[in-house]
A and B are shown apart, each in its own frame.
Chain A
Amino acid sequence: MANGTVETRMLDLIEEVCDDEVIREERDIDLFEAGLLDSMAAIELLVGIESEFGVVIAPTAVEREEMNSVNKIIHQVEIRVQG
C-alpha cells in the first residue's frame, strides 16, 4: 500500500472524527488542546482505523502523547501498516 494512500485516507478519517477540515493544514497542533479530539473521539478514531486499514491499535497500547497530532496519528498507522 502506497504511503500517499494511507495519508489521504487517514486525513479523511481524522477530518470526519474532528469535524473540521483545518486538520489538513494544522498537522502538528495538539488536537486535544485545540478541543478537536477528546478521549471519546480518540477511541472513535481507533475504531475507524481498524475498519479502514484492518490495523488494530488497542486504546491501552498507545498513550495520548503518541497520538495527539495529525502527523503523529498518521505515523502510528503507517508503522503498523508497513510492519
Chain B
Amino acid sequence: MVVYGHKSPLMLVSFFAAVKAGLPYAPIDIAYPADRVADILEQIGRPLVISLSDEPLAADVSLAERVLGKDEVRTARMASETVSEDSWVSGDDVFYLLFTSGSTGRPKGVQMPSRCVDAFMDYFGKLFPAGPDRISFNRVPYTFDVSLFDIVAGLSAGYTLFALESECEQSMSASFEALAASDLTTWVSTPSYIEMCLADPSFNAQLLPRLDTIVLCGEVFRNAAASKLLDRFPGVRIFNTYGPTETQAVTDIEVTREVVDQSNPLPVGFLNPEVRAVIRDVETGDVLPSGQMGEVYLEGATVSLGYFGRPDLTEAVFSERTRANGETVRSYKTGDKGYLDEQGRLYCLGRLDFQVKLNGFRVELGDVEQGLASLPSVKEAVVLSAEKDGKVSHLVAHVQLADPAVEPSFKRGQQIKAELRQVLPDYMIPKKIVFHESFALTVNGKIDRKALA
C-alpha cells in the first residue's frame, strides 16, 4: 500500500493501519516528480494508494488499484474496529518499503521485514526513554530511514512527534518560532540540518529548554559542529549514529567533549549487539583486522530482505553467511569505506562507488546521469560531486549537447535544470552545468571522470 503525502498525522495513521492489516506500506513524498511516482507505482504493481496531499496524485491514477483520500481515511478511522493481532505483519512479512536512489536511474525499494523493525526498535529504545510528555523532532521526510528513529522507537515509547509544516521550513525565522514553541525533549535530524541551525546564534538551550537528547544520522557529523553543539547545549546528550537504509541505523556513540578532542573524523559508533561489522579487503574480500581500512559489511538482525522485485540487485550486495557457531546471518555489502578501532568503534570514510550523501540525501550519481541522458537535448552527461570541508556541497553536471550547433549558455543550462526537475526530485538537481564539446576518454574508452574533476 502506498501512502502519498508529506508530514501529516494521517500518514502515520495510514502506515500503522497498513501494517495492522498485514500490508507493507511505501511512503511517497509529494516533492517527487510525476515520473518517479509513476515508476514506483509501476514497480509495486497497481498498489492501493492513500493520497493525503491537498494536490492530486502526481501520476496516472490507472497505475493504482484504487486511490483513497483523506475523507475515506477519516471515515475508516471512525469505525474503530479492532484488528486481530493475527493479521498484523510479523516475522519475514515486509513492514515498509523505502525507495532510494538507484544507480541505473530507477529508484529501488528496500524491503524491511517486521522482525528487522522489531530488532531496530529494541536497539534504539535506549535513545527514547519513557517519560512524561516526551516530544521528538521528526524532521526528516518519511521517505528517508532517519525518520524511523522516532516513528518506530519514539512512538512505541509514547512520544509525541513534532514536525515542521513545509511552508514553515522555507523560513528560518518561522522554523525557529515553531521550535521555540515545540517543547522538544529529543532532536532527530541530519547533521546538515543542525549545522544550518547552528549558524544562528539563537539556536541554543534557551530556545529548546526541555531538550536532553540529540540524535544525528544520515551523513558525516563533523567535529566542528559537534564542538559547537556541546557549547550551545550543555548537559544535552548528543549521539552520532550510522546505518544505510538496507540495515537501518546500526551504530551509536555519545559524542562527548573527550570523543571530539580525541578523534577526527568522529567515529560513527559501537554496533547494535545484534549486528556485526566486518571489514573486508576491497580487492581480495579477506577479513581485515581492526585498524585496517576496507569495505564495511554488516551482518545480523536488521539486514533487510533486499530490493523489491530486483533479485539481480539484491544478489549483488546481500548474502547469507554462516558464522563460526553455525548460525546463519544475513549480510549486506555497504559500499562504505571504513575501519573498526581497538574498542570496536566503527569509522566511515566515504564511499567506494558513485553514491554520495548530499545534505543527508542519498544520491547515486548514475541516477542523475541517467536523468540527464534521458533529456532529448543531452547527448551524454557525467555528474561529479564537489566537496567543501570534507563534505559534499553540491553536484556538478558535465554535459555534451545532442545538437552541436546549439550554443551553450546560462539559459540553456537553466532549461536543462527545469527539464531535469520533471524526472528527478529537487535535491538531485546539479547546481552547476558545464558544457563540453566532447569528453576526454580513458584508455578503456570510457569517459575520463578524473579529467573533469
A39-83 interface bits toward B, Cβ cutoff 8 Å, 1 = contact, 0 = none:
111011011000000001011110110000000000000000000
Interface size of A in residues (CB-CB distance below 8 Å) = 24
In contact, B431 and A35 (Cβ under 8 angstroms): yes
Are A43 and B199 touching (Cβ within 8 A)?
A: yes
A1 is an interface residue with CB less than 8 A from chain B: no
Could you name 15 residue pairs across A and B whose Cβ atoms are closer than 8 Å? A18-B431, A19-B394, A20-B431, A26-B410, A34-B417, A35-B429, A35-B430, A38-B359, A40-B192, A41-B393, A41-B431, A46-B199, A58-B200, A58-B202, A64-B170
Give 10 nearest A-B pairs by CB, closest first. Answer: A60-B173, A59-B172, A43-B199, A59-B200, A22-B410, A60-B172, A43-B196, A60-B176, A58-B200, A19-B432
Q: What residue of chain B has the Cβ atom nearest to residue A56's Cβ?
A: B201
Once the chains bind, are A36 and B431 in contact (CB under 8 Å)?
yes
Q: B171 in the interface, Cβ–Cβ < 8 Å?
A: yes
Known: A19-B396, A40-B359, A60-B176. A34 touches B170 (CB 8 A): no
Residues of A within 8 A of B431 (CB): 18-20, 35-36, 38, 41
> Does B130 make an interface contact (CB < 8 A)?
no
Residue B352 interfacial (CB < 8 Å): no
Name B427's closest neighbour in chain A (CB-CB).
Answer: A38
Question: For B386, what are the chain A residues with a Cβ–Cβ distance below 8 Å?
Answer: 19
A35–B192 alpha-carbon span in the complex (Å):
18
Q: Which residues of A contact B (CB under 8 A)?
A: 18-20, 22, 25-26, 34-36, 38-41, 43-44, 46-47, 56, 58-61, 63-64
- Known pairs A18-B431, A19-B431, A36-B431; A59 contacts B170 (CB<8 A): no
B414 at the binding interface (Cβ < 8 Å) = yes
Q: Report the bound CA distance from A18 to B145 in whole Å.
A: 29
Known contacts A58-B201, A63-B173, A64-B170: does B196 contact A35 (CB below 8 Å)?
no
B363-421 residues at the A interface, CB under 8 angstroms: 386, 388, 393-394, 396, 410, 414, 417
CB distance from B119 to the nearest CB of A (A): 33
B219-232 vs A: 1/0 string, CB under 8 Å? 00000000000000
Interface of B: prevailing SS = mixed
Contacts A22-B410, A63-B173 given; does A40 touch B196 at CB 8 Å: yes
Q: How far is the CA of A39 from the CA of B444 in the complex (A)?
A: 40
Contact status B196-A20, CB under 8 Å: no
Instruction: Tell me the complex Cα distance, A68–B12, Å.
Output: 35
List A contacts of B200 (CB < 8 A): 58-60
Besides the known contacts A22-B410, A36-B431, A59-B172, 11 further A-B residue pairs in the complex with CB atoms under 8 A apart: A20-B432, A25-B410, A34-B417, A35-B417, A40-B393, A41-B393, A41-B394, A43-B196, A46-B199, A58-B202, A59-B199
User: How far is B359's CA from A39's CA once the two chains are assembled, in angstroms?
Assistant: 10
Per the bound structure, the CA–CA distance linking A41 and B200 in Å amounts to 14
Min CB distance B408 to A, Å, is 12
Residue of A nearest to B172 (CB): A59
Report B-chain residues with C-beta under 8 Å of the C-beta of A43: 195-196, 199
Please state if B432 and A64 are interface contacts (CB–CB under 8 Å): no
Measured between beta carbons, the chain A residues less than 8 angstroms from B202 are 58, 60
Closest chain-A Cβ to B415's Cβ sits at a distance in Å of 11
A60-B176, A64-B171 in contact; A47/B432 too (CB < 8 A)? Answer: no
CB contacts (< 8 Å) of B199 on chain A: these are 43, 46-47, 59
Q: Specify the chain B residue showing the minimal Cβ separation from A16.
A: B388
B285: shortest Cβ distance to chain A, in Å? Answer: 37
Q: Using A19-B386, A22-B410, A58-B202 as known contacts, say yes or no to A39 and B173 having CB atoms under 8 A apart.
A: no
Cβ-defined contact, B196 with A59, below 8 A: yes
Contacts A35-B431, A47-B199 given: A63-B396 contact, CB under 8 Å?
no
Query: Bound complex: CA of A40 vs CA of B386, how far in Å?
Result: 14
By beta carbon, the residue of chain A nearest B414 is: A34
The 8 Å CB contact of B196, one of A19, A22, A39, A63, is A39
Q: How far is the CB of B222 from chain A (nearest CB, A)?
A: 13
Query: In the docked arrangement, what's the CA distance between A44 and B393, Å?
Result: 10
Residue of B with least CB distance to A32: B170
Smallest CB–CB gap between A28 and chain B, Å?
Answer: 13
